[in-house]
Structure 1
């Protein structure tokens, strides 16, 4: 691309060229004025000379001389006129020469004849170097020689006067001066251009190059400062400015480095604060979740704590049920329509999270390619984002936490990490609750038959007795014992005995109310607590249970008398038979032994005096101790 004009060139064109043009214009003007003045002077001189010569032709011719001898003698005496007059002729009206200083031309047709259309007034014409005049001749003074002179012009005076040599020399001198001024101006322009190049343009280019490098970021460049002129002072000032800028840049670099370090520290501090907040949240979650081992209470706490602390407007907990399906256990906000809904592994976002044991994030559930199902969401909710995080404990999926927000792509990556950590905490808490439930179940449940054990039995019995005493209602108990159970164990083995216990328990459990408590009392004995049941009704219940066992095809046994397993039952009621729990248990135990003495496979209601029967006293250390009664029967 073409370089822009330099300062020197601009100065040259703005100073030298206008001066040269002014000189040329001035000299041209003077030349033109001199040329015009010369031409006017020649013209005036020709007119005066024509007038003078015209007057000379009117002079009388002396006797004995040629016509117009005074004119010839005048021309001979005044040689200057001859020198300045290029041509002098008297022309006839038809353009022929009638008189001329050169006699040989008389009678010839003059070239100026074309200008003589008819005699008229004086006419003059000036060109570049001469003036040509035509003047009519003839008046009353010429009648002596020319009869018609008074009425008709006798001819025309033709005069051609050349420009004086001095005038031409002056004009040529002015033209030479003009050329000299032009040449001198060109030399002056060249000299000024070279001077400006070396003393202005080149230093300015160097200074500009240094400035451009500085503009590009090279603050170590310096301009040349040779000399003491203004450019050198400008270069020194520029170098000083660069030095100051270099110092400021160094300070800026140091400040920027310190700022970066401070920013890094602040970022680390902010990140640490965020981590501390996350850890505090995880601690609060862990503390709140681990403060209870009851699964229903734990799920309730999770449902309310997680949405509140994590600002999740829609939350649900799913646990793996006995069939291996994901079942909704709790929701926030509470929605009974969703609780109990099940998903298969791989079904929907939650199913994929459980199948892959990895979190599944759906930024926009409204996208057809998101992979969610309508069952993943609440009814009428078709926009927003969803995050499903599995609860995994020792590579076992316990359930899935579902987080939903109405905004699209509203879960940040840091949140995903935090929610995964929360899911791990919840998984540990749920696992502990499940283990606790299992431990409680094993503690209060007989592991062989699945019914409550003796500890749970007496806890339940205490509650029923306290309720009966408070409200004045009866409570009855049935003591059930399998007949000839020792023979069954001896004949068929303990595995068959255990199976017989399970089948008898299943038969009894299937025929009692849900409010009643069936428990294993010990060995082959069971106890049934009947709330708000009289003695007569309790007896009927005992008969129903006895018949059910005796008639069950699952309880047939060739080693038992009659080929079938049977039971003996004793019935006691509070307050009819005893005023307290321990005495009521003793009464039921005595009634059971009465059934045994009566031939087994029967139901006996307690009657006074049964507890002092001689056969009972052999093994009873304390009649009110149920464990002692069990030992005596064995």
Structure 2
């Protein structure tokens, strides 16, 4: 058994095939021989029955001949009383025989020399006249009958088309020295049963021999074809092995195996190449997203991936576990160009993340109109199906890829699904890493107390802000804000209350400006507000007054029984109207704030050049 395991595939297949041929020969030839022997036995049974039939036929024929002899004897005896001559006896004999004769037999009277005396028909006369050989055979029968008184035999007579065989009985009638000859006009089915059986046996021997030779030739031909095929197959297998070894040794991801033909081996090579190409594509995709600068670029690449899969109706949701919210990324990443439909799910999943079934279960959710597994999907009434695939990060759903499936695309999507899921699984650790880096970066750019951007953020964002402003050719309003008498809050109520006051101030600032504007905790109780696309001075002053009034009117409840109010002083500068240097514009706003403090606090002061002239040396 170990030897069989270790031999080459060619020898294994040849051995199996040879054993198969042997079994086929034993079974096939054995069955053939069985059929031939069975036919032989059946034929023998038939021939035995025919032999019995011929015996009965011979008996009846002999009885008929003896009846003829009896009639002739009776006529001869009565002829003496009636004084009849030889010719009268013969005539009476013929007439009497014709009364009970049937078409099966013919009879005739011959003398010893073989001359025909009389007959019941033309059969004997025709036979004798056809050839001398036939007359000689009749004469021979007469001589046999003379010696034995009665004689029966099967004789082949010459005929026009082919020899005809008859059973002939000859009986000697001594008083008249004539010979009664009767002929069975029906031909025998076979001349000789033993010869038929012998011929049948020879046919069986020939058939078996021919089958064996034919099978041997066929076996040799098939083995030749098989050997040729196996030689090519083993060559392909060796080539595959060498290619895989070379692939492993070189590490070349673009290397592919070559198939010599399109048989099973060729299809196997093609399947391997397809699998290898898929793995290569996945590795390249993973490498690309690893090299992407931030999570937004990774999301953009996933959008492109879905498009290459032919998936048009999709949405990607980002889960914010800290806030238990979900962000709809389609419009944020690529606007309306990456989806053919609005958000496919109910909007309440954005506010309460656990309303999303795929997020809550952290497993793929498949829904269809008949079984509405996710009540938040809005396409059931249109007969659509959907699949939500979570991207698992740290054991929970970090993102959810929602795909709406049209009925006519369902089978095509099912074929692509396993590969798509593999791509998303490969992307999971990269997404986790990018989000972690994003969160770490945000913590360095955010003020931990108020959640506002800090001064470091402003330093990194300034270049982009200036470039954007120049491109749009607009102004930027810069508001430096400071709480009035904030030190008293810390001294009277403590630093914990002071922190709460700063948090409330940050809330007032954010609620008083647009979402596109930027609020920065610049340091201590100082806050910087950047008004983008600010317009003229009046517009910026209006925003500043709004902030000041909102703060002035805001009641800060620092305990169940204590409520305080605080005022705000604001200094304004406008970039680039006041200066082409952005950081100098911030200094101008800071000088204006200082001026507001000097003039009594709780006021808004617009920068003027004399402020710099009076206090520029302080900066």
Q: TM-score range by the shorter chain?
A: 0.5 to 0.7
Alignment CA distance shift 1:243-1:268 (3 Å): same
Counterpart CA distance in 1 for 2:79 and 2:494 is 173
Instruction: Pick which of 314-323 and 416-425 moved more.
Output: 314-323
Counterpart CA distance in 1 for 2:212 and 2:404 is 65
Residue pairs, 1:213-228, within 5 angstroms: none
Counterpart CA distance in 1 for 2:557 and 2:386 is 55
Alignment CA distance shift 1:293-1:433 (3 Å): farther
Among 332, 337, 342, the residue aligned to 2:342: 337
2:394 paired residue number: 394
Matched, 1:508 2:513: no
Q: Deviations over 1:169-201 (max 9, x none)?
A: x9xx86999xxx9xxxxxxxxxx999999x899
Counterpart CA distance in 2 for 1:376 and 1:576 is 51
8 Å Cα contact 1:31/1:174 also seen in 2: no
Q: Deviations over 1:552-572 (max 9, x none)?
A: 2117799x9x96433332223
Matched, 1:423 2:428: no
**5+ unaligned residues in a row in structure 1: which ranges?**
50-125, 127-169, 182-191, 205-228, 624-634
8 Å Cα contact 1:516/1:529 also seen in 2: yes
Residue pairs, 1:240-259, within 5 angstroms: none
Among 59, 62, 70, the residue aligned to 1:27: 62
Counterpart CA distance in 1 for 2:556 and 2:268 is 73
1:48 paired residue number: 83
2:251 paired residue number: none
Shift of 1:495: 3.6
Shift of 1:421: 0.4
Shift of 1:486: 4.3
8 Å Cα contact 1:8/1:193 also seen in 2: no
Shift of 1:601: 3.6
Alignment CA distance shift 1:195-1:351 (3 Å): farther
1:38 paired residue number: 73
2:525 paired residue number: 524
Alignment CA distance shift 1:423-1:16 (3 Å): same
2:24 paired residue number: none
1:406 paired residue number: 407
Shift of 1:373: 6.6
Partner-residue secondary structure (3-state), 1:375: coil
Alignment CA distance shift 1:373-1:280 (3 Å): farther
Shift of 1:485: 3.7
Partner-residue secondary structure (3-state), 1:6: helix
Alignment CA distance shift 1:333-1:497 (3 Å): closer
Shift of 1:433: 5.2
Question: What is the CA RMSD across the aligned residues, in angstroms?
Answer: 5.4
Counterpart CA distance in 1 for 2:412 and 2:366 is 9
Partner-residue secondary structure (3-state), 1:335: coil
Counterpart CA distance in 2 for 1:537 and 1:405 is 52
1:101 paired residue number: none
2:547 paired residue number: 545
2:278 paired residue number: 278
Q: Deviations over 1:137-174 (max 9, x none)?
A: xxxxxxxxxxxxxxxxxxxxxxxxxxxxxxxxx9xx86
Shift of 1:580: 3.8
8 Å Cα contact 1:480/1:568 also seen in 2: yes
Partner-residue secondary structure (3-state), 1:30: helix
Partner-residue secondary structure (3-state), 2:453: coil
Counterpart CA distance in 2 for 1:252 and 1:343 is 71
Residue pairs, 1:166-315, within 5 angstroms: 265-266=265-266, 268-287=268-287, 289-290=289-290, 292-293=292-293, 298-308=298-308, 310-312=309-311, 314-315=313-314
Alignment CA distance shift 1:315-1:255 (3 Å): farther
8 Å Cα contact 2:366/2:388 also seen in 1: yes
**5+ unaligned residues in a row in structure 2: which ranges?**
1-37, 85-95, 97-145, 154-168, 170-191, 238-262
2:498 paired residue number: 497
1:12 paired residue number: 47
Q: Deviations over 1:286-309 (max 9, x none)?
A: 35555645556544543343242x
Alignment CA distance shift 1:6-1:344 (3 Å): farther
Counterpart CA distance in 1 for 2:594 and 2:77 is 181
8 Å Cα contact 2:481/2:569 also seen in 1: yes
Alignment CA distance shift 1:247-1:413 (3 Å): farther
Counterpart CA distance in 2 for 1:374 and 1:607 is 58
Partner-residue secondary structure (3-state), 1:593: helix
Alignment CA distance shift 1:400-1:241 (3 Å): same
Shift of 1:9: 0.6
Instruction: Give the TM-score normalised by the residue count of structure 1.
Output: 0.56
Q: Deviations over 1:518-558 (max 9, x none)?
A: 22222221112334354455445434433332332117799
8 Å Cα contact 2:365/2:373 also seen in 1: no
Instruction: Give the TM-score normalised by the residue count of structure 2.
Output: 0.57
Matched, 1:589 2:590: yes
Q: Deviations over 1:352-389 (max 9, x none)?
A: 55444343557xx46x358577936477445xx75443
Q: Deviations over 1:361-419 (max 9, x none)?
A: 57xx46x358577936477445xx75443221221112134263534861688744312
Matched, 1:476 2:469: no
Counterpart CA distance in 2 for 1:45 and 1:399 is 137
8 Å Cα contact 1:319/1:329 also seen in 2: no
Partner-residue secondary structure (3-state), 1:410: helix
Q: Deviations over 1:35-80 (max 9, x none)?
A: 232233344444338xxxxxxxxxxxxxxxxxxxxxxxxxxxxxxx
2:604 paired residue number: 603
Shift of 1:423: 2.2
Counterpart CA distance in 2 for 1:35 and 1:361 is 110
1:320 paired residue number: 319
Alignment CA distance shift 1:44-1:389 (3 Å): farther
Give the number of the structure whose residues are more often helix, by fraction. Answer: 2
Tell which structure's C-alpha radius of gyration is larger: 1
Counterpart CA distance in 2 for 1:407 and 1:253 is 46
